[in-house]
Chain A
Amino acid sequence: MALNKKERKNNEVKVALAGNPNSGKTTMFNEITGSRQHVGNWPGVTVEKKTGQASYHNYSLEVIDLPGTYSLGAYSEDEVVARDFLTAGDYDVVLNIINSSNLDRNLYFTVQLLEMGVDLIAVLNMADEAEKKGIKIDKNKLGQLLGTPVVETVASRGKGIDNLLEQTVQNRNLAEASLKIDYGSEVEDLISEVVEMLKQYDFSQQINQRWAAVKLIEHDPEAVKLLEREVGASKAKKIKSFIAERELKSEDDFDNIIIDKKYEFINKVIEESVKRPAADEEPENHSDKIDAVVTNKYLGIPIFMAVMWGIFKFTFTVGDPLIGYIETFFEAAGGWIGSLLLGAGVSPLISSFITDGIIGGVGSVLVFIPNIFLLFLAIGVLEDSGYMSRAAYVMDKVMSKLGLHGKSFIPMIVGFGCNVPGVMATRTLDSKRDRIISILINPLMSCSARLPVYVVFAGALFSNHASTVVFSLYALGIVMAVIMAGIFNKILFKGERSHFVMELPPYRFPTLKGVFIHMWEKVGAFLKKAGTIIFSVVVLIWVLANLPLGVEYASAESFIGQFGQLVAPIFAPLGFGSWQAAASLVFGILAKEVVVGTLGVVYAAGEGGLRAALTTNFSPLAAYSFLTMVLIYTPCIATLGAIKSETQSWKWPLITASYLFVLAWIVSFVIYQGGLLLGIGI
């Protein structure tokens, strides 16, 4: 262990946070490093490792936050990230974050780490919750039994952090841990024989040999791979068949014995170091009472729908007046700056760049800050409360009809915020098939970037039913996702059903800090996007609207006009064959907000506002068809990039991009032509 230690100076310590999901690793990480990583109350919030810096006295700490994992078994992609990091050993100390009120299961992971020879500090986090439950832990005794330092903390309130850092620095050169569990004579004999063989075959001294032997006896696939790498296939085969022979002679499976003995050891440790109220005396806790209602057979799905409806209602009712103010501000600013520039004798070109380009384009996107802000506030509360896993549980019924299970619903909810983390959240799904299907349908979850497009159109053309129209689009997205999941399930993969087991964490009251961190992060990301990609694209479009030289600004003869006309025929049967609409959709693939930005620039929305321009250029039916297109068509580049990196192949992003475009075209076609036939909204 402690790889690459020599590369670090004496006062540099590399620390990794590891532990069960939902034990507070990310809260601890934020507390130690002062970062603002997203924390949530559901297993799987962190799916990749994150690095931060901290200093304590004259030490500098490099801190790595790992995804939560229940064991080193690593059944899903996020757990593999943690496992690979921990086994590679490039760190000085592991802070094993333990949920104190849930010792049995958390210690299972601790014991696995100690057996592997990981130098760790056992961090009894959430000490306050344990206390509330009447659990008393003798940490000295626990430390003695485990043979490793033990520290108590309450990360959510910053308690015990100083002591933890002190201990971390003190124990940076911890002697190699060596926890030995007695697996009973039969397994122990085999272990020593396997260790002998490993020594004979020159198996790396870097790796704890007893641990390797135990893992091999458990038939751990990763251990087998490691063995083959180390000693070659033929010698590895000898060891494997040696173990298999023994197992045949034995009455019980060795891996069962090993697991049982581990838990037996943990039970003994707990018996000697923990006092807790007898199980029978424990009253039903409040989480159970809430669960009895929200996971009810009949009420579950309606409650979930109501929660979603509530989120949108909140986003719009509160957001609308705020949007109005900002809109008025940008319009006034546009007019005022325009006349100011004119008065100062600035060339009309520059004046147009500022009023039409920047204010018309970027301004029309920035207007939606209140909505983004409120949407993420609501999602933040949802995530922190613990309801996410319940929603997944409730939706299992629907998902299982599609060959997926409830856990696949969590990435979909995450996708409502943004599809990029939505796609990444599929790492928690353990079957490849579930992952791919969930990735393919994730872009159908209407992300926050599409919200500005809906709101501006809904405000312009459906002012009386704005929130109903927008909600219908979200619902349409879910329905399409469900249908497509069903289709992919039929045509893409067969068999390989995965296992559904998921922890339902206790409900917690969302902390103001947690929710605000989440919200600021998202609003910050939105502002950054507006200042970078949206700004650049809008400038590009403004330039294209002014070229070739001498052309009338944003006319059909400008480059952008000519380009739009080239593409427009594709969209004509859908009710929006104008070059402006076509151009906005094409550039919208760069980032969906750009659809609004482009329309803002090409309709020169400086005066009268974009809404007025839309009212004259779109019928309500055409507008709804256009919104359907925006909802479903090709996802933005960032999402396609995420799909590429998560699937490690170009095949899936290409499939996603093309199937969604075709699907969008068909659905918009049906809506527009159907509407025409029935005479609705023309």
Chain B
Amino acid sequence: MPLAMLRKGETACIKEIVGGRTARGKLNDLGFVNGKTVRIHSSSGGPLIVGLGDNRIAIGRGMAHKVIVDTEGCEN
């Protein structure tokens, strides 16, 4: 499911980044990569605040729809 659908406190594993070249490139640059664990720190209508390791990143809803995640979590 898209990252945008997760609720606060949930963690998930990034499975795929979809969307155009620019959007994908920007997400990759900031560390949104397949196999990484992301955690939702804030989700209140506006942009999300997510945690990727120690990084905190504000991400707009539109962009958060391009990050496909699996709530089962990452394998390791």
| Chain A residues at the B interface, C-beta cutoff of 8 Å | 70-71, 73, 75, 101-102, 104-105, 108, 133, 219, 255, 259-260, 263, 279, 282, 285, 287-288, 291-292, 295-297, 389, 392-393, 396-397, 400, 405-406, 430, 497, 499-504, 506
Contact of B56 with A104 in the complex, beta carbons under 8 Å: no
What chain B residues lie within 8 Å of A260 (beta carbons)? 33-34
Within B11-70, the residues touching A (CB, 8 Å) are 21-23, 25-31, 33-35, 37, 41-42, 44-47, 49, 51, 53-60, 62-63
Which 4 A-B residue pairs are closest in the complex by CB-CB distance? A500-B60, A70-B29, A297-B44, A504-B56
- A295 and B42 within 8 A (CB): yes
Complex Cα distance, B51 from A285, in Å, reads: 12
What A residues does B25 contact at CB under 8 A? 71, 73, 75
Whether B27 and A291, one on each chain, are in contact in the complex, defined by CB atoms closer than 8 angstroms, is: no
Knowing A105-B30, A397-B46 touch, does A501 contact B53 (C-beta < 8 A)? no
Q: How far is the CA of A101 from the CA of B56 in the complex (A)?
A: 13
Write out the residue numbers on chain B whose beta carbons fall within 8 Å of the beta carbon of A295.
42, 49
In the complex, what distance in Å separates the CA atom of A219 from the CA atom of B45?
A: 35
Q: Are B33 and A501 touching (Cβ within 8 A)? A: no
The smallest beta-carbon distance between A150 and chain B, in angstroms, is: 20
With a CB–CB cut-off of 8 A, which chain A residues contact B51? 288
Known contacts A70-B29, A389-B58, A406-B58; is-contact A501 B22 (Cβ 8 Å): no
Residues of chain A within 8 A (CB-CB) of B31 are: 104-105, 108
A501 with B34: CB separation less than 8 A = no
Q: Of A101, A133, A291, A297, which is within 8 A of B41 by CB?
A: A291
Contacts of A73 in B (CB 8 A): 25-26, 29
**Cα–Cα distance between A287 and B57 once the two chains are bound (Å):** 12
Q: Are A288 and B56 in contact (CB under 8 A)?
A: yes
B57–A500 CB distance below 8 A: no
Q: Which residues of A lie under 8 Å from residue B37 when comparing CB positions?
A: 279
A499 CB contact (under 8 Å) in B23, B33, B41, B46: B23
Q: Among B22, B26, B27, B29, find the residue whose CB has the most chain A CB atoms closer than 10 A.
A: B29
Cβ-neighbour of A102 out of B21, B55, B58 (below 8 A): B55
Complex: chain A residue closest to B27, CB-CB: A501
> Could you say which residues of chain A place their CB within 8 Å of the CB of B62?
497, 499-500
A259: min CB distance to chain B, Å: 5
A580–B3 Cα distance when bound, in Å, is: 61
Q: Known contacts A105-B31, A291-B49, A393-B47: does B56 contact A75 (CB below 8 Å)?
A: no
| The one of A71, A282, A287, A389 that contacts B29, using a Cβ cutoff of 8 Å | A71
Which chain B residue lies CB-closest to A288?
B41
Minimum C-beta distance from A445 to chain B (A): 22
B55 touches A501 (CB 8 A): no
* Beyond A297-B45, A506-B54, 10 extra complex contacts between A and B, CB < 8 Å: A291-B41, A297-B44, A430-B22, A499-B22, A499-B23, A499-B26, A501-B59, A501-B60, A502-B59, A503-B57
CB distance from A68 to the nearest CB of B (A): 11
List the A residue with the shortest CB-CB distance to B66.
A499
Contacts of A282 in B (CB 8 A): 54
User: Is the Cβ of A396 less than 8 Å from the Cβ of B47?
Assistant: yes
C-alpha gap A500/B49 in the complex (Å)? 11
Which residues on the B side are within 8 Å of A400 (C-beta)?
Answer: 46, 60
A504 touches B34 (CB 8 A): no
User: What's the Cα separation between A393 and B50 when bound, in Å?
Assistant: 12
CB-defined contacts of B41 to chain A, threshold 8 Å = 288, 291
Which of B45, B46, B54, B57 is the one whose CB lies under 8 Å from A502?
A: B57
* Cβ contacts under 8 Å, A71 to chain B: 25, 28-29
Instruction: Check B42 against A291 for contact (C-beta < 8 Å).
Output: yes
**13 A-B residue pairs with CB within 8 Å:** A70-B29, A71-B25, A75-B26, A102-B54, A133-B54, A288-B56, A291-B56, A292-B42, A393-B49, A430-B22, A500-B63, A501-B60, A501-B63
Evaluate contact between B58 and A499: CB separation under 8 angstroms. Answer: no
Q: Given the complex, which residues of B lie within 8 Å of A389, measured CB to CB?
A: 58
Instruction: Give, as a whole number of angstroms, the nearest-CB distance from A393 to chain B.
Output: 5
Q: Give complex CA distance A480, B53 in Å.
A: 40
Given contacts A291-B42, A393-B49, A502 and B58 within 8 Å (CB-CB): yes
Complex Cα spacing A279 to B38, Å: 11
Task: List the B side residues contacting A297 at CB < 8 Å.
Answer: 44-46
Which among A75, A288, A504, A506 has the highest number of chain B CB atoms within 10 Å?
A: A504
B59 proximity list for chain A (CB < 8 A): 500-502
Minimum Cβ distance to chain A for residue B21 (Å): 7
- Give the docked Cα–Cα distance between A503 and B63 (Å): 14
C-alpha gap A509/B17 in the complex (Å): 35
For A104, the chain B residues whose CB sits under 8 A away are: 31, 53
Instruction: Please give the distance in Å from A267's CB to the nearest CB on chain B.
Output: 8
| CB-defined contacts of B54 to chain A, threshold 8 Å | 101-102, 133, 282, 285, 506
Tell me if A504 and B57 are in contact (CB < 8 A).
yes
CB distance from A173 to the nearest CB of B (A): 31
Report the Cα distance A282→B55, complex, angstroms: 13
B46 contacts across to A, CB distance below 8 A:
297, 393, 396-397, 400
Closest to A297 in B: B44
**Does B56 contact A259, Cβ atoms closer than 8 Å?**
no
Q: Complex Cα distance A330/B34, Å?
A: 66
B45 contacts A259, CB within 8 Å? no
Chain B residues near A499 (CB-CB < 8 A): 22-23, 26, 60, 62-63
Shortest C-beta distance, B55 to chain A (Å), equals 6
Min CB distance B60 to A, Å, is 3
B30 contacts A70, C-beta separation under 8 Å: yes
Interchain CB contact under 8 A, A393 and B58:
yes
- Chain A residue numbers with a CB within 8 Å of B45 are 297, 397
| A397 and B60 alpha carbons, distance in the complex (Å) | 10
Bound complex: CA of A133 vs CA of B54, how far in Å?
A: 10
Task: Tell me the bound Cα distance from A311 to B60 in angstroms.
Answer: 29
B27 contact set on A, CB distance < 8 A? 501
**Residues of A close to B49: CB separation below 8 A:** 291, 295, 393, 504
Closest to A76 in B: B26
B30 touches A501 (CB 8 A): yes
Instruction: Enumerate chain B residues within 8 angstroms of A101, measured Cβ to Cβ.
Output: 54
Residue of B nearest to A298 (CB): B44
Q: Which chain A residue lies CB-closest to B57?
A: A503
Which listed residue, B23, B29, B55, touches A108 by the CB 8 Å rule?
Answer: B29
* Residues of B close to A105: CB separation below 8 A: 29-31, 55
A503 CA / B42 CA spacing, docked (Å): 14
CB-defined contacts of A503 to chain B, threshold 8 Å: 30, 55-58
